[in-house]
Structure 1
Amino acid sequence: MLFKSFSTLGVLLFAAAVQADDPVTPAIPGVAAGGVVIELIKDGFKGTEGPIGYSDGSLLFTETQANNIVRIGPDDKVSVFLKDSNGANGLALTPGGEIVAVQTVKTKVGIVYPANKKKILAEKFEGVEFQRPNDLVRANSGAIYFTDSGTRPTKENPNPPPSHPGVFYISPAGELKRLANDIERPNGIQLSKDESVLYVANTLGEHILAYDVAADGSIGNRRNFAKLAGWQKGEDGWSSGADGLALDDEGRLYVASNAGIEVFDAKGEALGVIPLPKKPQNLAFAGSDKKTLYVVGRGAAYKIALLAQGISGRAK
């Protein structure tokens, strides 16, 4: 079943349809051919976050609750790439092959692989430890942008400390700055292809946010970039579920949300939605030709063959 219109009703109907054994993609011009099977690689992971395309054509992602970084090979073989990751969440890859992670057991940002190059890049801001480092993106300059989503009540901890979410920047020289502290729950973060725009997913907001990036790495001109179809009211109030972000070579932005994978053009216009059997958390292009979109969420890992191609040299 395919939909030419991606109204909220259409998204919900299509989402219901793909609960079958073989969910398929809708047709999105330039992005996805209609009827392509969304392949389940494996279910039952203990946490699924932080995917990046690795240099050997495989995909790495973080199994957060198991404290592992997992590898999915080009043949779909699943193996543990790194144990004892200090609760690594979002990942980035340097040109030299080092893996940088935001980490949630002992909260910090730093290099976790290889072992002989482990390094802490940041662990406190103004003397205060981070609360929930979530995602990061590395600029070509070596600078790192990352989010801290703060605290939130859970069944296990209904009264957490006051939340102090933020967007942070580590300069190529290692200087830590806070760029924003007015986003309710900053989550996924990504740079445009030319690195002139920084995108931030606000899980509790209706829009993906965009900022202009200055020469010194600072950001300004905050604006609503794209309106999310995933915006809905749940048990805990209104949320878009906006999480991980990825870009393709044409500058289209892919957003994991309550609706599935939402796709927007470089101007923020909605192109379509790829619903999934389980709500996605994060995503990345990988493979030798970077035409495979890997999506992880709620313990499951999927892959989708697309017409679109990821950016060469980008980990996601």
Structure 2
Amino acid sequence: MQKSAAKEVNVVMNGLAFGESPRWHDDRLWFCNWGTGQIVAVDAEGNSQVMLTVPATLPYSIDWLPDGRLVVVSGRDGLVLRQEPDGTLATHADLRGLSTSPWNEIVVDGRGNIYVNGGGPAPAPGQHFGPGTIVLIAPDGSVRQVADKIAFANGMAVTPDNKTLIVAESHANRLTAFDIAADGSLANRRRWADLGNGFPDGICLDAEGAVWYADVPNRHCVRVREGGAMLDSVDADRGCFACMLGGADGKTLFIVAAEWRGFEHMISDARTGQVLSIEASAPGAGWP
């Protein structure tokens, strides 16, 4: 496996709590600053702006509808919120009837299907997470569960042809793929890549069909091909929570990273979060 040590890792932004759910949108990297309720946009030079503050501290995640409106998963509230043109937030979907456990990540595909993961049964005593689910919010507003028994559901991505959804199963050390049917349902669940001792968190796709995944305990991001071949990696000095390809040519890998001190210390005054960037070999593709 190639290491990107020869390439320079740049620090784009410092002083964050926990960066999560990074998205390249309107020529800037948008991300959720967990612990503060802020949604932040930053350009490649580090010029940042708080775009919105939401009534959540963690978990929450973001994406955009085909018409350009921002949607936010307010994980502990079980709501998907939609930002209206006047800046106010309205309820786009209510997931509380599906689970009392927090919801996590979101991806909107090219047809307007919204996939949200997390939720699921309550965790066993002494555990932070139970088996996760994936729900579909269809363009007509209907909501239904389309997958279950996900081992700590984390990042998700949809291929450019809208035919495959890939999800990170952090506690199973794998990326799992589903075929997407015409109505948005998921089928043909299969192992896309076995990651060995890797713990995938946020993910993104590139134009060569490879996936970059962030890994908190191993403090790196890894590029992997379907079947599990490791192609490249980027090391950091702290946990990597998620990654996103963007930049002018789509070939900048942005990484949100922070020191990991355990779930019980996720909300604290520590501000070890960073946005990092490094040149990648292929531009981003698909969704998000």
2:93 to 117, 122, 129: 122
Determine if contact 2:84/2:90 at 8 Å carries over to the other structure. no
Number of residue equivalences: 270
- The equivalent of 1:31 in structure 2 is none
- 1:39 maps onto 2:6 in alignment: no
Q: 5+ unaligned residues in a row in structure 2: which ranges?
A: 259-272
2:180 to 210, 213, 223: 213
Determine if contact 1:226/1:270 at 8 Å carries over to the other structure. no
Taking a change above 3 Å as real, the CA distance of residues 110 and 204 of structure 1, as seen in their structure-2 partners, is: same
Determine if contact 1:148/1:186 at 8 Å carries over to the other structure. yes
- The equivalent of 2:167 in structure 1 is 200
SS of 1:281's partner is strand
Per-residue CA deviations over 1:65-124 (Å, capped at 9, x if unaligned) read 101001112321123121235346221123432111211352311214654463322223
Q: Which has the higher strand share?
A: 2
SS of 1:188's partner is strand
SS of 2:160's partner is coil
After TM superposition, the score normalised by the length of structure 1 is 0.77
Per-residue CA deviations over 1:173-218 (Å, capped at 9, x if unaligned) read 1111111221121111111121211111111012111111111111
Q: What one-letter code is carried by the residue in structure 2 that aligns with 1:263?
A: R
Determine if contact 1:131/1:164 at 8 Å carries over to the other structure. no
- The equivalent of 2:269 in structure 1 is none
Determine if contact 2:75/2:103 at 8 Å carries over to the other structure. yes
- The equivalent of 2:262 in structure 1 is none
- 1:102 maps onto 2:62 in alignment: no
After TM superposition, the score normalised by the length of structure 2 is 0.84
- 1:310 maps onto 2:277 in alignment: no
- The equivalent of 2:53 in structure 1 is 83
- The equivalent of 2:234 in structure 1 is 274
Per-residue CA deviations over 1:36-83 (Å, capped at 9, x if unaligned) read 11111233312210110111x111100111010011123211231212
Q: Aligned runs of 1:13-32 on 2, under 5 Å? A: 26-27=3-4
- The equivalent of 1:166 in structure 2 is 133
Taking a change above 3 Å as real, the CA distance of residues 152 and 277 of structure 1, as seen in their structure-2 partners, is: farther
Determine if contact 1:149/1:185 at 8 Å carries over to the other structure. no
2:248 to 288, 305, 308: 288
- 1:244 maps onto 2:215 in alignment: no
Determine if contact 2:160/2:287 at 8 Å carries over to the other structure. no
Provide the C-alpha distance between the structure 2 equivalents of 1:209 and 1:141, rounded to a whole number of angstroms: 21
Determine if contact 2:222/2:233 at 8 Å carries over to the other structure. yes
Taking a change above 3 Å as real, the CA distance of residues 114 and 89 of structure 1, as seen in their structure-2 partners, is: farther
Provide the C-alpha distance between the structure 2 equivalents of 1:307 and 1:180, rounded to a whole number of angstroms: 33
- 1:301 maps onto 2:275 in alignment: yes
- The equivalent of 2:154 in structure 1 is 187
Per-residue CA deviations over 1:149-188 (Å, capped at 9, x if unaligned) read 55668xxx9577x836211111111111111221121111
1:267 is displaced (CA, Å) by: 5.0
SS of 2:6's partner is coil
Q: What one-letter code is carried by the residue in structure 2 that aligns with 1:44?
A: G
Q: What one-letter code is carried by the residue in structure 2 that aligns with 1:256?
A: A
SS of 1:204's partner is helix
Determine if contact 1:54/1:315 at 8 Å carries over to the other structure. no
Taking a change above 3 Å as real, the CA distance of residues 207 and 133 of structure 1, as seen in their structure-2 partners, is: same
Determine if contact 1:108/1:130 at 8 Å carries over to the other structure. no
Provide the C-alpha distance between the structure 2 equivalents of 1:164 and 1:119, rounded to a whole number of angstroms: 29
What's the C-alpha RMSD, in Å, of the aligned pairs?
Answer: 2.5
Provide the C-alpha distance between the structure 2 equivalents of 1:268 and 1:192, rounded to a whole number of angstroms: 17
Q: 5+ unaligned residues in a row in structure 1: which ranges?
A: 7-25, 28-33, 232-239
- 1:67 maps onto 2:67 in alignment: no
1:294 is displaced (CA, Å) by: 0.8
Determine if contact 2:12/2:45 at 8 Å carries over to the other structure. no
Provide the C-alpha distance between the structure 2 equivalents of 1:195 and 1:315, rounded to a whole number of angstroms: 9
Q: What one-letter code is carried by the residue in structure 1 that aligns with 2:280?
A: L
Determine if contact 2:156/2:167 at 8 Å carries over to the other structure. yes
- The equivalent of 1:138 in structure 2 is 108
